[in-house]
Amino acid sequence: MLVYPSGVDVSSSALRFLAARLRQHRRAIGSRWRRLNPGRQALLALAHLRMGHTYAQLAAGLGIGTTTAYRYATEAVELLAALAPTLAEAIRVASTKAFVILDGTLLPIDRIAADRPFYSGKHKKHGMNLQVLTDPFGRLLWVSPALPGAVHDVRAAREHGIVDTLAAADITCWADKAYRGSGGNVRTPYWGRWETLSAGQKAVNRSHAKIRALVEQAMATLKAWRLLRRLRCSTNRITSLVQAVLALHLASSE
């Protein structure tokens, strides 16, 4: 395999953050000599998440075995995933905001037509459903564990306890029509064809759309990590990968 110099468009603060956590982890488990120091292992994990490089590519670039590259990347991802905020922690932060925005997204996965639980009829592709909470400026607060793509957004929100938790904390939440009927503090647009809505209802829907448009910033933040654009790993690992990305983003944003 040919090797060439390349770059990773991630801030140096994210690299320092992950490297520091890896050093702490190595001291905690009493790890001795390794092929890569914590800084290089952190770089490997960032290249994997941000650029979507395969383990074979990472191994060739860093002069290690493919199995070692897999082990190092998995270790870093698990450490980061453990640092991601829980829903309760995100709600405590959200309680200081005027409102939050809720939306769902689909992470495409490599599955065949027979895998019906992962097929999203809305997106016409196989994937995993994620629920995303943002602040009024579209900044990420929390990302849910991944569910099969066939799960509808309103059902996913209920399964994760988002609706009940927001209602208990008395936090106003703006969401799209996919959350119609969720109740609680979740505000959705008026339902119906545009031409059948009254002038007042149309004005409300326009205002609602302007507020909700800010959530696209959070979606773009997630999809900037190229590994999440087309996942080819086991579906059991996707939640950890997403939470690792979230932890890195929040750490580098502080």
For helices 38-51 and 55-62, what crossing angle results, to 10°? 140
Cα 68 to Cα 207: distance, rounded to the nearest angstrom:
52
Q: Tens digit of pLDDT for each residue in 143-171?
A: 999 999 999 999 999 999 999 999 999 99
Q: How far is CA 235 from CA 14, 157, 207, in A?
A: 26, 19, 37
CA-derived radius of gyration, the chain: 20
In Å, what is the CA distance from 242 to each residue of 46, 83, 226? 13, 12, 12
Residue labelled with tokens 């994210």: 14
How many Cβ atoms sit within 10 Å of the Cβ of residue 30?
6
**Intervals of the chain under pLDDT 50:** none
Number of H helices, E strands in the chain: 10, 7
pLDDT at position 183:
83
Residue with tokens 């991802």: 77
Predicted local distance difference test score (pLDDT) of residue 114: 61
- Cβ neighbours, 10 Å, residue 92: 12
**Per the structure block, which two tokens stand in for 155?**
């059902």
